[in-house]
Structure formats: C-alpha cells, structure tokens
Structure 1
Amino acid sequence: MIADKAQSWAYAEEFVIEDEVLLQARERGAQLGCHGVQPGTGAALTVLAAAVGARAVVEVATGAGVASLCLLRGMHPDGVLTTIDVEVEHQRAAKEAFAQAGFRPTRTRTISGRPLDVLPRLTDGAYDMVVVSGEKSAFPEYVDQGLRLLRSGGVLAVDEALLHGQVADPARRDETTTTIREVGRRLRSDDRVLSVLLPVGDGLLVSVRR
C-alpha cells in the first residue's frame, strides 16, 4: 500500500510537464540557495488561481519566482501578483523569470522587506488568493494576515504543509513540525474557512474564505 501511494505521488508530480522557463527559474533558485515549489504544487497553484479567476494575489516568499510563474499563468490576464521577499537578489532572479515568460512588468508588484512588516499594510478583503511559504516559524502570523486580506470566496494556500512527511508523524515534536501541524489544526477548526490538505509536492494546505 505504501509503495502504491509513493508511485501514485510520483506519477502525479510528473503529470504536468514543466517548460524551459520554469526549469531555468528552478536552476536560478538552486544557485541562490532557495528552492521553488515542487511541480505538483506549482500545477495546483495554477489551477487554483484559474478556478477563482484571480486578479489580485499575494505571495509570501518570492524565491526565484517558480511559484510566482505558476500563479501568473493561472491568474486573469490583467491580474496583478504582489510578491514579498526579504532578499533583493531573489526578486531580481524572479523578475528575470517573469520577463523570460513574457509577463508585462505591470503584472507584478515585487516588494522587498519582511513579510510581517509588509502584510499589515495591505488592504483588508482585497485579494483573491494568498500563498504562504518561507519562514516556517512565522506561518501562524502569515496565515492570520492572509485570512484578513482575502475576500469571500478567496483562497489561502500554505506550502510545505507536510514538511517532508514530518507533520504526519506523531512522534515528531520539534518546534517547526509542531508549528505547521498547529496551523493545520487551526484552519481545520476555523468556521471562517473550508480547508483541505492536498498531498501534492510537500503538502499544500488550501482554505477557502466563506
């Protein structure tokens, strides 16, 4: 049974074939020491953005732009992605990916800074989708801010929600695993959202604002 699940996961990860633009963005990320979302997660983000017709999206942790590209490809053609990262060099690499993919500069708003400094300045209920990645210890605060930013029917997506299988292992009690596990519990019991944990990539926790 476990072998069958592993084989199914691998098949799902390879179901959507990434193009050269995404592969090069991944390579830039590897050179900078920042990993992008896994292929299955990227495909899911594209589909979610398309499903809600996203025109305004916030992304926490730009990296080299892998998840950003996936979001932009699913968003409305006039949609704007606001992406936040503390590393200017990462965002420079992401902008290279955006240009290579043919997205107009007006489609993205890159903000350099700590997400917890930037997010409170964004407008309540003005966004169709919020994607959380990056610093795990700050996930609870990112999620709280994300729920504030979402309109009714908007989508919150938390990457690495399974953390290399550690979250599902009850024996794992380290601080990072416990934090991510608690984020899942909070969203699962929050009456403001409907939530599901998707076993794509390294786990994608998805919540829809009521």
Structure 2
Amino acid sequence: MRGSQMQVSPDQAQLLAMLVQILGAERCIELGVYTGYSSLAIALALPESGCLVACERDARSLEVAKKYYALAGVSDKVIVKHGLAADALKSMILNGEVCSYDFAFVDAEKRMTQEYFELLLQLVRVGGVIVIDNVLWHGKVADPLVNDAKTVSIRNFNRTLMEDKRVSISMDICDWE
C-alpha cells in the first residue's frame, strides 16, 4: 500500500503491547491506524473485557485493518472511528468519557499533535500513558535549516511539552522513524 513507511516496526509494536500490559490497561485509544498493525498489537495485549478506540481518516486503510482484526479474533475489542481524530476525541469528551482511558498512541497528522495531546489529556486518566510517535521526525526537528510545516509543528510541540508541568515525559531515540 502507499505510505508503507508509516507502518510501525515490530519492536515498536512489541513495546506498545508491553506498555499496555504493564499498565494493566483496559481502555485504549489509537490515533492513526493505517493498516492496523499497532492497534492489533494493542488489542492483543488487552484483557478480554478491554477495548481500543481506533481512529483513522482513510477508509481504505481501515478496511485492511478491520480484516486483520477479524483474522486475529479481536474485532470485538476494537471500536473503529472513521474520520478526523480530533472530531472523534471531542465527541468522546462530550459523551462523558473524560478520564476513562488508560493508554493512548498517537501516530496521526503531525500538524495536529498539540491538539490531539490536549484532548487526550482530558480522556486519559491520571497515571495513564500517552505515546506520541515521530517526535524526532527523522532528525529533522534538530536541523534548524528544515522548516517545513510538519517539522516546525513537531518542533513546537516538543518545545511546549518540555515545559508542560502536567506530565512526566520520556523520549526514546530508537531508530523507529
């Protein structure tokens, strides 16, 4: 499929699953499903009663993901939301789901990361975990000569996050990107 470079690596999928297990997560959110590999890893790590809200704007990618959810027997754990992730998150907040999620993984539109983060802070409980992919953006965020919209957005998000007293942060520099 086009955009295959967006697929998470096996070690990243394993880390996501391990974080879900360590956290004892039962309710998770993923923004940016692509073909479903990362959401499949998360869903497989959830207990039988667990659920994952998987948000993706591309219908073709979602169809691929849903096929693999079914093959892995986790379709009943995954609530698929087709459309813009910010709209889905706002709807979840309005539906009274504030502080009811344990874990979130963001691998969606890079220019929206700050907005996603603010919305997820409302949905993920205190002590929960929010994982943001691509914060290094292939090293571009450290290069002052790179100033395209996505890179600047990620750079600004990182700067804001470093000063955010509401959260504790950790950055992994694995070669996932």
CA distance in structure 1 between the aligned counterparts of 2:81 and 2:89, rounded to whole angstroms: 10
- Output aligned runs, 1:153-164, within 5 Å: 153-164=127-138
Matching of residue 58 in structure 1 with residue 29 in structure 2: yes
CA distance in structure 2 between the aligned counterparts of 1:188 and 1:40, rounded to whole angstroms: 26
- Alignment match of 1:115 (pick from 85, 95, 116): 85
- Residue equivalent to 1:165: 139
- Output aligned runs, 1:172-191, within 5 Å: 172-191=146-165
Deviation sequence 1:146-201 (CA, Å, 0-9, x none): 11111011100111111112123344333211211221222222111100111134
* Unaligned residue ranges in structure 2 (runs of 5+): none
The CA RMSD measured in Å over matched residues stands at 1.6
* One-letter amino acid matched to 2:139: G
Q: 1:181 to 1:202 in 2, by over 3 A?
A: farther
- Output aligned runs, 1:18-33, within 5 Å: 31-33=1-3
CA distance in structure 1 between the aligned counterparts of 2:45 and 2:162, rounded to whole angstroms: 26
- Alignment match of 1:84 (pick from 55, 68, 73): 55
Moved more, 164-173 or 130-139: 164-173
- Residue equivalent to 1:207: none
1:97: how far off?
Answer: 0.9
CA distance in structure 2 between the aligned counterparts of 1:33 and 1:169, rounded to whole angstroms: 24
| Structure of larger gyration radius | 1
- Number of aligned positions between the proteins: 172
1:32: how far off?
Answer: 4.6
* Unaligned residue ranges in structure 1 (runs of 5+): 1-30, 204-210
- Residue equivalent to 1:14: none
- Residue equivalent to 1:4: none
Percentage of identical aligned residues = 30
CA distance in structure 2 between the aligned counterparts of 1:41 and 1:167, rounded to whole angstroms: 21
Q: Check the 8 A contact 1:40/1:201 in 2, yes or no.
A: no
* One-letter amino acid matched to 2:7: G
* One-letter amino acid matched to 2:58: E
Q: 1:145 to 1:56 in 2, by over 3 A?
A: same
CA distance in structure 2 between the aligned counterparts of 1:70 and 1:79, rounded to whole angstroms: 13
Matching of residue 137 in structure 1 with residue 111 in structure 2: yes
CA distance in structure 1 between the aligned counterparts of 2:159 and 2:45, rounded to whole angstroms: 28
CA distance in structure 1 between the aligned counterparts of 2:64 and 2:2, rounded to whole angstroms: 9
**TM-score normalised by the chain length of structure 2:** 0.89
Q: Structure 1 runs of 4+ off > 3 angstroms?
A: none
Q: 1:32 to 1:172 in 2, by over 3 A?
A: closer
Q: Check the 8 A contact 1:37/1:201 in 2, yes or no.
A: no
CA distance in structure 2 between the aligned counterparts of 1:176 and 1:32, rounded to whole angstroms: 19
- Residue equivalent to 1:101: 72
CA distance in structure 1 between the aligned counterparts of 2:60 and 2:76, rounded to whole angstroms: 20
CA distance in structure 1 between the aligned counterparts of 2:174 and 2:13, rounded to whole angstroms: 9
Q: 1:169 to 1:43 in 2, by over 3 A?
A: farther
CA distance in structure 2 between the aligned counterparts of 1:57 and 1:99, rounded to whole angstroms: 18
